[in-house]
Amino acid sequence: MTKEIALKYGCNPHQKPARIFAENGELPLEVLNGKPGYINFMDALNSWQLVRELKSALGLPAAASFKHVSPAGAGVGLPLSERLRKAYFVEDLELSPLAAAYARARGADRISSFGDWIALSDEVDESTALLIKGEVSDGIIAPGYSAGALEILGGKRNGGYNIVRIDPDYEPDTLDTRKIFGIVFEQRRNSVIPAADLLENIVTRNKDLPAEAIRDLVIAMITLKYTQSNSVCFVVDGQVIGNGAGQQSRIHCTRLAGEKADLWFLRQHPAVLALQFKDGISKTDKDIAIDEFLRGNWAETEDGGDVFATVPRPLTGAEKAGWVKNMANVALGSDAFFPQRDNIDRAQKSGVKYIVQPGGSIRDDKVVRACDEYGMVMAFSGTRLFHH
């Protein structure tokens, strides 16, 4: 451990000097390989808190895929279906629970996760390291690494992959401080760990909240706690499937999260799973090709462009809409109240059944009425989760 780490530069190359340091004692982390930068450490420390709290709240290994100080995905270590294994390009891998958690986190939005920062709640094993080895990633933070995992990860990026170990017992001070334009801001650290007790105030007629939905709503709330606000998060089957972050309007958060969730589900369409690629095509190129295929933007040439082995027939709008209608039992969390029912109307199009939000809008009655119309279950947590 050390008291200070000098950084190459800050958020941008012209922002020098830059460093992270401990005001008292030593830093609770150690760089085992590479040279992480300013944004890397911002991602690392936010993502570590997310997975630590998921593990604490649910008792399952947890993973997060971070980009620009917001999670592109997060998940816990539940087994993957054969359909998900194929959609995530892990059908040939033996996955430990921790590796399954990262496959879920990475699979939420594979386009956004390109070059991600990874956080893992448990010691990294070889199964997880082998999965990470095949992905484009900037770095990782975890409480420890097996010798085999460290050797595998140390070979990424020509030996320059950023590997950080954090003390799992470290607890920060009660007060958080930051400086903006020379002015010091201070506030009590957000030490609330969202859990099932925040779901007790169910305000809809439908009050049936199964254990799986409780788990998914907890994942949504903890993910939102470390997502740049405004934010709305869609979760199903133990993983984030759409995160709408940093929007000024809540309906735009919901639309963004819903669109990401729809694309996540469309990646599992039989026509997508049956796509044939040329030999030697990377996962990244496959991800881009699938995304373009689903958006109808791919190049239709005799040989299927640069990636497809055969020219795929494009999915019609009706086929895509029909497939998305199969989405069901999706959980949704919002970091602040819904000001209008339009958020509920959009959410139901992506299979949302369960919702948690703080409540407190003057139009709460209209929002609850919209949920009742769709047979949804909604809880008022009474806890806002803004993160800036």
The residues, any chain, with a CB within 8 Å of residue 254's CB and separated by 6 or more, are 232, 244, 332, 334, 342, 343, 346, 347
How distant, in Å, are the alpha carbons of 105, 124, 138 from that of 164?
Answer: 19, 11, 11
AA identity, residue 53? E
Residue 85: other Cβ atoms inside 10 A: 18
DSSP strands (E only) in 189-273: 231-236, 239-245
Cα distance between residue 260 and residue 227, in whole Å? 15
Residues marked as catalytic: 67-68, 230, 388
Residue 269: other Cβ atoms inside 10 A: 21
Residue 382: other Cβ atoms inside 10 A: 12
330, 346 contact by CB (below 8 A): no
The residues, any chain, with a CB within 8 Å of residue 259's CB and separated by 6 or more, are 242
Cα distance between residue 166 and residue 345, in whole Å? 42
